[in-house]
Structure 1
Amino acid sequence: MSDAKKREIDINHWLNDANEGNVTFEPLNSIIILKKNENALLELHNIALWEPRAVRHSQGGYGGTRVRVAKGVSVNLGSFKANSESKEELREIDRGTLTLTNKRLVFTGQKRTVNINLQKIIAIEPYNDGITLQRENKQKTEYFIGTNQHSLDITSNENKYTIPLTGIVIKAIIKGEISKY
């Protein structure tokens, strides 16, 4: 078996173990204050928080002619028409640190702090560079982008690897921690 194939098998094995809650992490000294029986698993810096925002686009214009009635006096003969529409666009809300613990996912930025209890997560969608979350009592989807700037050292079948922290890896770790409840 080639080294690349063995690496792929080992990483998939580790992802399955993570998904089932069968991986352990060395506790970190975190920037957040941990609660009783809570351990920080990952701490990722320079992560962007994106959310959908309603953005209004307006445009208008005048159509018609101007008629001079007397010296210094003119009248506009025409009309002004304006059009305004609102649509949702993804906007970067803040940039900061994303900390995953065995109980929470916490984003701490300059303008916004987001504290998500892992048990309140309804859905996670992984991407190459991050994840999106839907959670209870929150209508807007939250996007955490930039996780692939970081890597994780793993051991699988007694082999050590360094893998990028893609959305698939983070989703597996979160699902594994949720499965422990």
Structure 2
Amino acid sequence: MTIYDFTLTDNKGRSVPCRKFRGKILLIVNTATRCGFTPQYKALEALYQKYKEQGLEIIDIPCNQFLSQAPGSDQEIQSFCSLKYHTTFPRMKKADVNGAHELPLYKYLKSQQGFHGFGSGLKAMGMSLLMRQRDWHYQDNPDIKWNFTKFLVNREGAVVARFEPTTAMSEVEAGVAACLKAAT
């Protein structure tokens, strides 16, 4: 099984086979419109504009599983992202990333890149404390911990990195640039 074996549904209800992205660098992100990390949309759009001509695709999958921070319909989410952050990358239908109803793609992504911690700094410490309140053993499973977790997929379809929402966008960009460079 590879990432190209999965199919997503876009925010208009159309099927999007992941094989459509074969040969691209993918950054797959679970997002939310009312989260402390929501301003990352601005950095994601900047990254997309900078690297899309070189083969980067960002796949936005809104998720309402974390304190209901992605309320609203798919159209309302699209309008919010377009108007507030001017995003132009593909947005999928709102979906679960953990649990009984999680997207099969997310089960695969998590099997390829598990949770390795939130890193260091105040945001990382805050996320660790929040997670401990919810699940003392949160570090022991690959589940998505919060909104704006990112998976980086190279041109061959290998899931090469997982970035938690606390990871600096400069580190995410470095990962994208390294994948693009390796592919040339």
> One fold, TM greater than 0.5?
no
Q: Which has the higher strand share?
A: 1
Structure 1-normalised TM-score? Answer: 0.29
Structure 2-normalised TM-score? Answer: 0.29
